[in-house]
Amino acid sequence: MESITVYLSKQRKSVLIVWGLILVLLVGLIDYQTGTEISFSIFYVFPISLLTWFGGRWAGIWVAIASAATWLVADLIGGATYSNPIIPYWNAIVRFGFFLFITFLLSAWKKLNEGLEDMVEEKTTALKAESLERKQLEAQFLQAQKMESVGRLAGGVAHDFNNLLTAMLGYATLALGAIPPDNPARLHVHQVQRAANRAASLTHQLLAFARRQIIEPRVTNLNHLILDMDKMLRRLIGEDIELLTLVARDLWAVKVDPSQIEQVLVNLAVNARDAMSEGGRLTIETANVTLGSDYARSHAEVSPGEYVMLAVSDTGLGMTEEVKAHLFEPFFTTKEQGKGTGLGLATCYGLVKQSGGHIWVYSEVGKGTTFKIYLPRVEEAVSGLPQHEAAAPPRRGTETVLLVEDEPSVREVAAHVLRDQGYRVLEAANGDEAFRLAQEYANQEIHLLLADVVLPQMGGRELADRLKALRPDIKVLFISGYTDNAIVHHGALEAGVAFLQKPFSPTALARKVREVLDK
């Protein structure tokens, strides 16, 4: 496109020369055919051409009139003799017509030239805009790929770490039960337990970022959820920050896990509070929005359609483009050391993505930040928010449990807990060993299969299906450090599947086993 522009610009410089050569030929032809002495009129072509090109068509017309009149006056005053007195006037008319033709021809050429330049400029601008949009989409796509890769890494790390934490929490709890209340060692074991619980919280956040958590989606009105959290959010952000809630009327329903959206709001509120150390305003807003194809083209992974928007805005410090580029990455933080894990916004990203939504950030240094979350609309009736009841102590049992876990420390502590609860436990380290064990005990009832989802040689789901064929009445409880497509779809458990997330405490394990057996 640049070469075309350069070419057209050169035409303006050379047009007079080109037309001058053409007119020389035309005038010579007319002179030969008519016998009139108009060849000198070629000298008027150049000023006419210049004025027409730079001054417009009417400037050229007036010069043409002046040129023809000047030539007529010169003929009449100069004493030239003609056989017919009409000839000078005829010559003036011919010259004027010739000049007028040149004027209109050059004017048309100029208009065509300007039209071509405008067209080239518009096309160039459109190509630049398209190239910029394509580069932005490529950057968003690469960022999404990077986040997906980091998510897989985080999920794998959390899975392995959860196995270790399950053993640590289990043995710490068992140790506390064996140490007398007045023994100073209890304090040390308590510290181990606290550290393991903090580590477990971090792995839960990593799993949230990696979209590997089990979710319990329900049709929800975000307005109800936000208003229920109002008092808690006010306590969280402090008295020096004003909380403004703007909820839309007739808000559409969304299908999300309410506890996860609550976590997102808490994380964003904490992030906003830290950005407004001297006070400010936190605004939470909901709205029904329809995202069109233009928005989808400029935002990777977004499909056109109807969404519910949840916006959280603050009047804090804002952030630079460099900070925004890394904002949702795990362990990235701009806070002082010891004041943040760098997982808050990464958790928000994972939770929103797992809910089928999208999250975008808009920020300007010194003016504040806005996070906009878009959740797909659903055409279903809103269900009530879950009620949290106090958990009762787990009841004991005498049933037989087939425990399948490839991590020795987890298998040992789980077997110890279940035997303490009165259960009979059969242990296996992989799926094949568990299936052979079940065949050996063909004449004895096995009430529950407690199996890790990911196992060597035969996965937990395949093992459960094969045992169900042999023992239709057997109950199944899966355990795992992260979700697997074998038992979940889009983060939600298949209907009828029982699951316990690692790391779990001995009490949680005993309670869940009893719950599954009693169904």
pLDDT value, residue 62: 63
| Domain contains 21 | yes
Mean pLDDT, to the nearest integer, of 425-435? 92
Distance CA 48, CA 44 (A): 6
The neighbour count for residue 397, using CB atoms within 10 Å, is: 19
pLDDT value, residue 417: 92
Asked if the model's pLDDT at residue 377 lies above 90, the reply is: yes
Q: 229 and 208, same structural domain?
A: no
DSSP letter at 384 equals P
Q: 415 and 335, same structural domain?
A: no
β-pair type (400-404, 448-452): parallel
Mean pLDDT, to the nearest integer, of 212-218? 67
- Last residue of a domain, which of 193, 212, 231? 212
Q: 42 and 160, same structural domain?
A: yes
Q: 240 and 200, same structural domain?
A: no
Identify the weakest region by mean pLDDT among 1-10, 50-59, 243-252: 1-10
DSSP letter at 40 equals G
pLDDT value, residue 80: 58
pLDDT over 90, % of the chain? 21
| Domain contains 85 | yes
Element (H, E) at 218: strand 218-220
More confident residue, 72 or 226: 226
pTM above 0.85, yes or no: no
Residue 261 confidence class, pLDDT cut points 50, 70, 90 = confident
Phi/psi of residue 249, nearest 5 degrees:
-75, 150
User: How would you class 198 by CB atoms within 10 Å of its CB: exposed for 0-12, middle for 13-18, buried for 19 or more?
Assistant: exposed
pLDDT value, residue 424: 94
More confident residue, 57 or 481: 481
Q: 448 and 368, same structural domain?
A: no
- What three-state secondary structure class fits 286? strand
Query: CATH number of the domain that 303 lies in?
Result: 3.30.565.10
- Closest to 503 measured CA to CA, from 58, 10, 168: 168
| pLDDT tens per residue across span 185-195 | 888 888 888 88
Asked if the model's pLDDT at residue 11 lies above 70, the reply is: no
Residue 295 confidence class, pLDDT cut points 50, 70, 90 = confident
Mean pLDDT, to the nearest integer, of 31-53? 52
| Domain contains 68 | yes
Asked if the model's pLDDT at residue 201 lies above 60, the reply is: yes
- Last residue of a domain, which of 344, 378, 412? 378
The single-letter code of the amino acid at 486 is A
Distance CA 452, CA 509 (A): 13
Phi/psi of residue 450, nearest 5 degrees:
-110, 105
- Closest to 255 measured CA to CA, from 284, 287, 217, 223: 217
Asked if the model's pLDDT at residue 33 lies above 50, the reply is: no
The neighbour count for residue 365, using CB atoms within 10 Å, is: 12
Asked if residue 510 lies in contact with residue 518, where contact means CB atoms within 8 angstroms, the answer is no
Q: 463 and 343, same structural domain?
A: no
Distance CA 41, CA 52 (A): 17
Contact partners, residue 407, CB within 8 Å, separation at least 6: 163, 166, 167, 452
pLDDT value, residue 433: 92
Q: 408 and 361, same structural domain?
A: no
| Domain contains 40 | yes
Strand partners, 244: 283
Domain of residue 91: give its range.
Answer: 1-212
Q: Is the peptide bond before 503 cis (omega within 30 degrees of 0)?
A: yes
Distance CA 285, CA 245 (A): 6
Q: 125 and 12, same structural domain?
A: yes
Identify the weakest region by mean pLDDT among 112-116, 277-281, 290-294, 303-307: 112-116
- Last residue of a domain, which of 180, 212, 244? 212
Asked if the model's pLDDT at residue 335 lies above 70, the reply is: no
| Domain contains 392 | no
| Domain contains 393 | no
36-65 core/surface letters (b: 16 or more CB in 10 A; e: else): eebeebbebbeebbbbbbeeebebbbebbe
Q: 421 and 510, same structural domain?
A: yes
Q: 227 and 201, same structural domain?
A: no
| pLDDT tens per residue across span 122-164 | 887 777 777 776 766 666 556 556 555 655 655 666 667 777 7
| Domain contains 340 | yes
Asked if the model's pLDDT at residue 44 lies above 90, the reply is: no
Alpha-helix residue ranges (DSSP H) falling in 179-291: 185-209, 222-228, 230-237, 258-275
Query: Which of 80-84, 178-182, 448-452 has the highest mean predicted lDDT (pLDDT)?
Result: 448-452
Distance CA 54, CA 59 (A): 9
The single-letter code of the amino acid at 53 is W
What is the tally of structural domains in the chain? 3
Query: CATH number of the domain that 463 lies in?
Result: 3.40.50.2300
Strands (E), 296-411: 305-314, 358-364, 368-378, 400-404
Distance CA 253, CA 224 (A): 11
Considering the chain, what is the average pLDDT of its residues? 76
Phi/psi of residue 62, nearest 5 degrees:
-65, -35
Asked if the model's pLDDT at residue 24 lies above 50, the reply is: no
Asked if the model's pLDDT at residue 39 lies above 50, the reply is: no
DSSP letter at 10 equals H
Q: 125 and 168, same structural domain?
A: yes
More confident residue, 209 or 73: 73
Mean pLDDT, to the nearest integer, of 464-481? 89
| Domain contains 472 | yes
Question: Alpha carbon of 55 to those of 120, 166, 225: distances in Å?
Answer: 23, 87, 70
Q: 281 and 200, same structural domain?
A: no
